[in-house]
Chains A and B, each alone.
Chain A
Amino acid sequence: MLTQNHRVNDGSSAFSRPLAIYLLLLLVAIGWLGATMLAPYLVHSKQLSAATFIYRAFSLICHQLSERSLFLFGYPLSVCSRCAGIYAGFLAGLIVYPFIRSLDCASMPHRRYLLLALLPISIDFAGGLLGVFENTTLSRAVTGLLLGATSSFYLLPGLLYAAMEKLAGSPIYIRRNK
């Protein structure tokens, strides 16, 4: 049985498994955010087939309203400003993660921080929906950025330890930090 004190990196290899998983996730996050920015570039360079493919693929998970989007090369990103903020924040969180916490550390922040990060985006969304106030592109992007950055501190250890648990073949119990 592995416990929260179990270090998933046994130090036998310079290129540890947590590092490999981290780098893979980092590449996926860069590719994902890059794809949202590639679509406007493709329209700008008149490669419409490729642009349409990306815009349609992202239309499955975002409303893509241009009045609620950030623009690049004069055209909207393939996701709205809130989604772009979440993805950019997630990537930023991943980049700073190793400077704040060790990849070997089997702990997760307390859930209160995740709930706290959900609060601004919920207020911004609900306020706009109920007509209490008019949210802006900036407010949507910033609140999304906050949630994305915070969620990386849950999803990265989550994915790391889910993968390591499967590789180890026994449960790893994670104690949340206060």
Chain B
Amino acid sequence: MKPDKTKPALVGGLILGVLSIIPIVQFGNCFCCLWVLLGSAIAAKMLIDRSPDMPVTIGDGAVVGAMAGSVGALIYLVIGVPLGLLLQSIVPTKEIILSFYEKIITDPVMMEQIRRQIEMAQPSAGAAFAQAIIYGFIFAVIMVVFATLGGIIGVALFEKRKGTQLPPPQPGYGQPPYGGV
């Protein structure tokens, strides 16, 4: 019998979701979605540990990874996005974008043009909220995709049993129903 994926997905999702919303700690995701891959790989490892009889398949790994990613995405959308909006009121988005372009553009004339464009396009509070929601959903989708990949990698790394080690068939398996024709 296949193990229940709910608990591993919840634990993995909680790990990747919480690590992805804590300020500063969340920058771990800047290294190829580190927390997302870690959380989903933990979910896959937990699923393997909870399945003593049957080896966990790649498909199971992908599903538990996607489930963990969905849990993490939900945590990010419900807690991370409002937290991000709160922090945005302290450091406005305009300043973040300007500081980014200041790092990559050396021409002062072009930088001045960009500064003017960004100030003209400064969004209202409503638009800033909408932007936060849009980027929140983009990251939620990225989380689910990367968590699915993390689940597959987790099975590739942690499932050591061969596919041929299957449990013996249940008594009566293979016999025709109702005593045959």
Write the residues of chain A forming the contact surface with B, with a CB cutoff of 8 angstroms.
1, 3-4, 43, 46, 48-49, 52, 55-57, 59-64, 66, 75-76, 82-83, 86, 108, 111, 114-115, 125, 151, 154-155, 157-159, 161-162, 165-166, 171-175
Contacts and interface: CB of A to CB of B under 8 A. Distances in A.
B124 interface: no
Contacts of A83: 32
A158 B62 contact: yes
A143 to B, nearest CB: 12
B165 to A, nearest CB: 9
Contacts of A172: 57-59
Contacts of B100: 55, 59, 64
A165 B59 CA distance: 6
A171 B153 contact: no
B59 A171 contact: yes
Contact of B117 (A48, A111, A161, A171): A48
B135 interface: yes
Nearest to A51: B101
Contacts of A4: 163-164
B129 interface: no
A114 B97 CA distance: 37
A172 to B, nearest CB: 6
B58 A165 contact: yes
B29 A60 contact: yes
B63 A66 contact: no
Instruction: Determine which residue in B30, B97, B100, B117 has the highest number of CB atoms from chain A within 10 A of its CB, and name it.
Output: B30
Given A173-B55, A173-B57, A154 B163 contact: no
A69 to B, nearest CB: 9
25 contacts: A48-B118, A57-B138, A60-B29, A60-B138, A60-B139, A61-B29, A61-B32, A61-B33, A61-B139, A61-B146, A62-B30, A63-B27, A108-B156, A114-B157, A151-B153, A159-B152, A161-B58, A162-B152, A165-B59, A171-B54, A171-B57, A172-B58, A173-B55, A173-B162, A174-B57
A126 to B, nearest CB: 12
